[in-house]
Structure 1
């Protein structure tokens, strides 16, 4: 039994900790914030109303590692999510609706029944998708999504591909990695029955994974410290140490599951090359504008048409999800252009979003802004040829996080996969090198 520390209790850190604990190791978990969850968590309760999340998150059926992790905790999928076939329609019902069935056939059916598209638009997008499939959803590393779609009919590109890209990669299509986009598209739309299903949370985010995971870790004997910054160090015998308030404690292995910039700061004196790679990542913000309104949407998630003066791509009806009647969340992914406007950028974004929803979501009335939440470094900018740090840093020292080298962008699934893969790598290493102590 090895003594292992996990620094960070976001989705990656919790996933790693659970996997390591399942193999019988002695776990200590450290989290700088007062609650677990990282960038996908619920905010502290507010007397003004039901709890808010720090942003709107969704899952899809292709998120197999995340769904498996939730099942391992005994959590019922039906109580956590509203699951339905993929529907990308606006508030008037225009768009794509996939029926149940094999995703290749259902996607083609949905495109051919998108009556607001001409035949040339329909055959254009189907032709591109067929070409991508015949090439194994692979392309040159240097391509952007916009370049990948050169020659596609304007309407499906603007109404389907570009919004999907910014939602999945949080990077505008003109800058986003085509290779990563194709991997997500393959898994979501063409990997198996139900892979494209939308899973919209029925519970606050903290109740979906962070709180149950932390409770399970504690119940199985893990020591958890919240609200304290943990500092990485090195003991004279070569083991890694973690220090909070008192003297440093030595561990047989440490998993750094904190954000990339924090990991880079911690490692600057130990592994400057790894730290430099993590520090070099650029970021894209996400703004979530929570609105109050009368009325309801025809579907819990509807698409919004984005433009230079209309920032949001999607609108969520929390009342339809059983969360908070009358509350709606408008999501602005890749919001850098608005935040670059300076101190008034967030306010301008919120005002523009309010006007956009009033124009594009006719069923809603008496709209007002409830709260605006901004994650300035929500995800790394997923651009072509991006160099991402490796999970293994040194003997007994690993990292976990959605920013690490891998095929996925910065998503909940990317975080969970990273945490579990790091745990598997560390377990293999511990099997080859005996830990300094047993317990």
Structure 2
């Protein structure tokens, strides 16, 4: 297993269940989790980005339970919602059977005009009739124009949902992938549409427990060990790795290899192999998109009325934040800690971190009418420049299988309905393991 992110851990768990299979995981970072992991900053344990899961993430939730995670305790469950600070749009799905929950939510929604509600009802009804699928992909912007969505509904509902789910602007994002996300949120059973907020750091949420589960079954997990090369042999594969407990360059032979790295790392490992030249070029051409998370620490008494809010962003006016999470609602030990997320953060990433944190704090103070939010005691800006692949319309994603026997790919970028989410990573890891017979 080359890579100990969520896809790699999922593949490792799936393989370790088989009798007689010995699993070895190589992870270049010292912490498991890949692009959804914990980090330490300023003496605090944080995540490299805030995540929301859905009740529809069936494979992820199943796998978490399998390795011993108490899902109900590990995450806060809230109904599907898009809620802005007081005075803004307020859309909350009640705990009613689908699709009644969506109809009632739309009827009760505040901050939307009658035309906005009718546009959303028309969109949802037609998309459901279409099976949430398109014959030919197009951009989300084009899709919304076809469905005559109002400017206000686009600004307050569809645009933030697209950015949060696909990390790609409306103007280039895949409408087909966006519809798949909506199918499992707005168009799903009520429980499937629930939003799940992790109480623990992302490594503790699954990868750490997976490593413990694997160790009990004889698997080996190497953290801080980088795989430098893979090479086919007569009866398997040879891996060259360095770092961690291995030290200098060491080689080891395996029967099968799951390549569960980023697209860039996978392309580099495949490039020397003539048989995978086309695949390597395809992966190297994948565009990536950044996500910025700004952590702001206030006194423990500072608390938002609910776990998270959507925010109206306007980069030109210095309002960068798109969503704000009150970590104190999730973990009492993090009282007063707010996490503000900026998706498709190319422009935000170019702003000096101190200036960006100050602008976001000022945005929160003005939005909530609470001047104290302009003066955090501590801040930390984290930008993952390659947080996800750019989920553009018409993007061709590779299959899990390759042309070489015993070599498969696992990662949220592989072919599938979903964008770069934890569920897509887990699905891909499980599918990759199933190919290795």
TM-score normalised according to structure 1 size:
0.91
Equivalent residue number for residue 266 of structure 1: 269
Residue among 221, 224, 231 paired with 1:224? 221
What aligned pairs does 1:226-265 form with structure 2 within 5 A after superposition?
226-234=223-231, 236-244=233-241, 245-265=248-268
The corresponding residue for 2:289 is 284
Aligned with 1:232: secondary structure? strand
State how far apart, in whole Å, the 1-side matches of 2:230 and 2:144 are: 48
Q: State the match for 2:417 in structure 1.
A: 407
Partner of 2:100: 105
Q: What are the equivalent positions in structure 2 for 1:13-32 lying under 5 Å apart?
A: 13-24=8-19, 25-32=21-28
- For 2:179 and 2:195, locate their aligned partners in 1 and report how far apart those are by CA, in whole Å: 18
Contact 2:101 2:190 in 1 (8 A): no
CA contact (8 A) 2:68 2:209 kept: no
Decide whether the 8 Å contact of 1:297 with 1:364 is kept in 2.
no
1:316 to 321, 325, 338: 325
- Secondary structure of 1:117's match? coil
Q: Number of paired residues?
A: 417
Moved over 6 A (4+): none
* CA–CA distance in structure 1, aligned partners of residues 232 and 78 of structure 2: 52
SS in 1 for 2:156: helix
1:70-81 alignment runs, 5 A limit: 70-81=64-75
Using the alignment, how far apart are the partners of 1:337 and 1:31 within structure 2?
31
Q: Kindly tell me: are residues 364 and 194 of structure 1, through their superposed partners in 2, closer, same or farther at Cα, counting changes over 3 Å?
A: farther
Cα deviation, 1:94-127, whole Å, max 9, x if unaligned, reads 4101111223211121111113211111111111
Q: Give the whole-Å Cα distance in 2 for the aligned partners of 1:141 and 1:292.
A: 46
Alpha-carbon offset, residue 355 of structure 1: 1.9
Q: The residue matched to 1:175 in structure 2 has which SS?
A: coil
Distance 1:386 1:235, change over 3 A: closer
Contact 2:10 2:63 in 1 (8 A): yes
CA deviation vs aligned residue, 1:123-162 (integer Å, no higher than 9, x gap): 1111111111111111243411111111211111110111
Q: 1:33 aligned to 22, 29, 35, which one?
A: 29
CA offsets per residue over residues 59-79 of structure 1, 9 Å max, x none? Answer: 111111110001111211121
Structure 1 position 345, deviation (Å): 5.0
Partner of 2:78: 84
Report the alpha carbon displacement of residue 199 of structure 1 after superposing the two structures with TM. 0.7
Aligned-partner Cα distance in 1 for 2:353–2:414:
29
Instruction: Give me the whole-angstrom Cα distance separating, in 2, the residues matched to 1:268 and 1:351.
Output: 43
Q: Give 1:399 shift.
A: 0.9
Counterparts in 2 of 1:372-387, with a 5 A limit?
372-387=381-396
Shift of 1:227: 0.8
Match of 2:53 among 30, 52, 59: 59
Change (3 A) 1:249 1:345: same
Residue number in structure 1 paired with 2:173: 176
RMSD: 1.7
Unaligned runs of 5+ in 2: 242-247
Within 5 A, what are the aligned runs for 1:342-357? 344=351, 346-357=353-364
Map of 1:398 onto structure 2 = 408
Q: Residues of 2 paired with 1:235 and 1:247: CA distance?
A: 16
CA distance in 1 between partners of 2:235 and 2:43 (Å) = 51
| Range that drifts further, 137-146 or 152-161 | 137-146
Tell me the equivalent position of 2:308.
301
Q: Per-residue deviation at 1:16?
A: 0.2
> Equivalents in 2 of 1:69, 1:173: separation in Å?
32
Contact conserved, 1:101 with 1:194, CA < 8 A, in 2?
no
Instruction: Give yes or no for the alignment of 1:329 onto 2:339.
Output: yes
Give the Cα separation in 1 of the matches to 2:250 and 2:387.
34
When residues 253 and 355 of structure 1 are mapped into structure 2, their CA distance, relative to the original with a 3 A threshold, is: same
Please list the CA deviations of residues 41-67 of structure 1 after superposition, one character each: whole Å capped at 9, or x if unmatched: 1113x5x45411111111111111110
- Equivalent residue for 2:212? 215
Structure 2 CA distance for aligned equivalents of residues 117 and 193 of structure 1: 22
| CA 236–278 in structure 1, closer or farther in 2 if over 3 Å, else same | closer
